Amino acid sequence: MTERWQQLVQFLKEVRTELNKVNWPLRKEVIGSTVVVIISVFILSFFLGVIDVTLQKLLTLVIR
């Protein structure tokens, strides 16, 4: 059982070491990326909505 604890402690030390190596983004970068994603989602959803309505109207004309 003691060996398991030692392995766990060693693992957590290695995790901490690796986390210190991570290049964390600045708050300004995160906000900028988030804004770009939100705007992209709105543009894409608007585009797909227009295509959906257009195809729906075309299908209605074909079925009649």
pTM of the predicted model, to two decimals?
0.64
DSSP 26: P
> What is the reported pLDDT for 64?
83
Rounded to whole angstroms, the maximal C-alpha distance in the chain is: 78
pLDDT tens profile 5-63: 999 999 999 999 999 999 999 999 999 999 999 999 999 999 999 999 999 999 999 99
The span from the CA of 42 to the CA of 64, in Å, is: 33
CB neighbours of 54 closer than 8 A, spacing ≥ 6? Answer: none
> What is the reported pLDDT for 36?
98
> What is the reported pLDDT for 59?
95
The span from the CA of 59 to the CA of 40, in Å, is: 28
First-residue to last-residue Cα distance in the chain = 76
> What is the reported pLDDT for 1?
76
Residue with tokens 């705007």: 39
